[in-house]
Structure 1
Amino acid sequence: MGAERIQETLEDVHYPEGDGRPVAETEIHRDNLFNLLFALRHFFEHRPDVVVSGNLLIYYVEGNPRAVVAPDLFVVFGIPRRPRRIYKVWEEGKGPDVVIELTSASTRWEDVGSKKGLYEALGVQEYFLFDPFGEYLSPPLRGFRLSAEGYRPIPPQTAEPITLRSELLGLDLRAEGEWLRLVEPGSGRKLPTPDEVWAAWKGAG
């Protein structure tokens, strides 16, 4: 088969925009995801080369729509920020730099097993897992950083509440009960959630 025919065949492949799976396991998982997306998008709002997204299908092998993963939240540095219906690694030139997964009953084995191996192979530099109910992970917040030998655990900044530093995001991730908060290391300021922004706006009025 010639190169032109191969290219035509690849272009004919259909990459679905949805996988039929729910966006979140519980309301707590959903609200954590929304809070993190809101906070990170505003934190990087002046960086047009930073993409913050979640539950978007990432296809990582051209021509194979079964080679797909949908992180709860991911951040990519060095590519243009624009709306995407799906994410094709071969077109973007790279995969995610940071991934955060909210572990649940239906995803716990994937999150610490096959997904961890896949993210390592895709070159995800930092991988964080958070279990809002503390049912499946101990401690409930874990992180891994990619090294020449593969993923290595990220040591905690503090044990109680457990806090892990993301060197790429320039933020600390802190487990506060059922909530995963993002904290500026220098000031200790928490990035606000939508509810906190709304409360401050009402208070100012």
Structure 2
Amino acid sequence: MRLLLVEDHVPLADELISTLGRQGYAIDWLTDGRDAIHQGATEPYDLIVLDLGLPGVPGLEVLQKWRAAGLSTPVLILTARASWAERIEGLKAGADDYLTKPFHPEELQLRIQALLRRVRGLANQPKLESAGLHLDEGRQCVSRGEEEVQLTAAEFRLLRYFMLHPGQILSKSHLAEHLYDGENERDSNVIEVHVNHLRRKLGRAVVETRRGQGYRFAGTGE
């Protein structure tokens, strides 16, 4: 899952990038509201974490411009102000959730997980469940019945994306855009390698190949 973090406080941004990176998220980081208006509307992010106190253009105005342009990406607001009026304004502008600083990084992780599941119409449960598989995002492993399967970081990222998009046909380029940040080279051939790894661990039927289109997550391993 690819996230945009818009936060001008460098120590906090560094901490969040490190923490969320360990949770398997690809993070793009911006510090200025003017840059965020354009990039947030043109790159395929799964979720945006937006600070309100930004230089250039305030976060609330950035959010208003995104929503006015039709951007539906879920946005979680960070604010250093505990004012109820500001929170209400953020929600009215189209925010999906908010956190007041200071906050514990684990709370942000859990809110991100909940938002990503909510927008996909999946229940907010301790483990992501789809097609008979149960993904533990904290431990980054998957279980089916009593069997628990360990995953590499890359396999975890790919399987989580598949499980959040069950039944959808996803091209290699689409997967690469959502699994890597803007700084990394996106090699769609690597996706095929990781798909094959998942099949070896979970059964060949877990991911279907649609010739000329991409992959479809089925989740019913042989």
Could you state the TM-score of these two structures normalised by the residue count of structure 1?
Answer: 0.34
Name the one with the larger helix percent.
Answer: 2
Q: TM-score, normalised by structure 2?
A: 0.32
Higher relative contact order (CA 8 A, sep 6+): 2
Q: Structure 1 or 2: larger strand share?
A: 1
